[in-house]
Amino acid sequence: MNKRKRTKCWSKSVGERGYRIRLYEARPGSPIMRSVHINGKEDRKSLGHRDKELAIRQAYDLLKAVLANETAIERETLTIGLLASLYNKSPRHLSKKVRTQRDDVRKLERVVAFLGATRDVESLSGSDVERYTMARRKGHASIIGVTTDKLVKNRTIEADLLALSRALHWAMRERTRTGERLLKENPLFGVKLPKEKNPTRPVMSHDEYLQLLEVADRVNPLLKLALVVAEGTGRRISAVRNLLWEDVSFSKSSIRWRAENDKKGYEHVVPMSEAVSEALHAQRKARRSIGNTPVFESQKDALKPCDRYLFDHWLRRAYSLAELEPQHGGLWHPIRRKWVTERKGYPVKDVAAAGGWRDEQTMLRSYQHTDAETILQVVLHPTQRLGLAK
């Protein structure tokens, strides 16, 4: 009987004892893995490709960055790569939601790779921001993790640079073991980040809402309920879809919005309108659901809410059935802007609390819109007349 010849897995080590990077195949033909040993601790990850020459170059680049960070610590200086590494392990970063952590790490990695991980933080300047802005806007090949030659707007570029800005602000407040500040001053203080001059922030009209509501049942009964709850509460669709029956109090006519389902981690109890109460009551009666179960339960698992992107799919189908064109720049957020715009005239603090905004300025700047009818009332009906000078 012939014995099957065993194929050897490729491997290679870079560096020396104490600072070693090992490249290897977990099994023949699999993506190359990278294992880093620094002072006895291991960090292992897949490189996501099988190009051995590229893997070796990446290993030497990583080793160079690691050694630069060690040198920086000895000299009491701070490299951009070390800043990113320390910030990503900090309680400030780890206290964010997992999805937010993942997005921030990706953005920071992009900026660090472009500016150079071994570069001293204190050498950063406004010119670096301009260089990154130009390269990112055009989708230059030097920007990692993006589609080459794909044009992006200022808002996307700003989000990347804000990840670096947050790390710099954190470093200014953090102290070393000797009591010294990790970063004495922000090298990008006063540098303006790219801003979107004409941001797209669509708001849904009430007529459009009614037309979508009319066809919602033809798509899925849960879509109609989602539209009623979103329009009646002004909440993000992520908070709406994660709503549990135990959070709905029909006796007190209120809803508890949980911190873990809120973008800003804000938990509070808010009264609900009659329309929202009736829609939720009808759904509970139909499904006979109570307790710690989702209001928008998944068909595959009644203990889990519907998939986030399923709501988008349903709403797009409703737009098609209603023969309407979705506004560019959002699907569910225009309903949130509708809610807050229709409540102009009430105290700003109360509107923000009811809709779940922690920052009133964000609500006024990015959500509440002007409308022709209110502008006309402002022009025609002054609230008071000043006395004539004698």
- Report pLDDT digits (tens) over 149-200: 888 999 999 999 999 999 999 999 998 777 888 888 999 999 999 998 888 8
Q: Output the pLDDT for position 223.
A: 96
CA–chain centroid gap for 150, Å, is: 21
Q: In the chain, count H helices and then E strands.
A: 15, 7
Domains and CATH numbers, the chain: 10-75 (no CATH), 81-199 (no CATH), 206-378 (1.10.443.10)
Q: Output the pLDDT for position 207.
A: 96
With beta carbons less than 8 A apart as the criterion, state whether 362 and 233 touch. Answer: no
Give 311-323 as a DSSP string. Answer: HHHHHHHHHHHTT
C-alpha span between 329 and 380 (Å, rounded) = 33
- Alpha helices (H) in the chain, listed in sequence order: 52-74, 80-88, 91-94, 98-115, 126-138, 154-173, 206-219, 221-233, 237-241, 274-287, 308-321, 333-341, 348-355, 360-366, 372-380
Residue 8: is its pLDDT beyond 60? yes
Per DSSP, 118 falls in state T
- Coil, strand, or helix at residue 24? strand
pTM of this prediction exceeds 0.85: no
- Report pLDDT digits (tens) over 274-285: 999 999 999 998
The residue with tokens 């590494």 is: 85
With beta carbons less than 8 A apart as the criterion, state whether 45 and 33 touch. Answer: yes
**Radius of gyration of the chain from its Cα atoms, rounded to whole angstroms:** 27
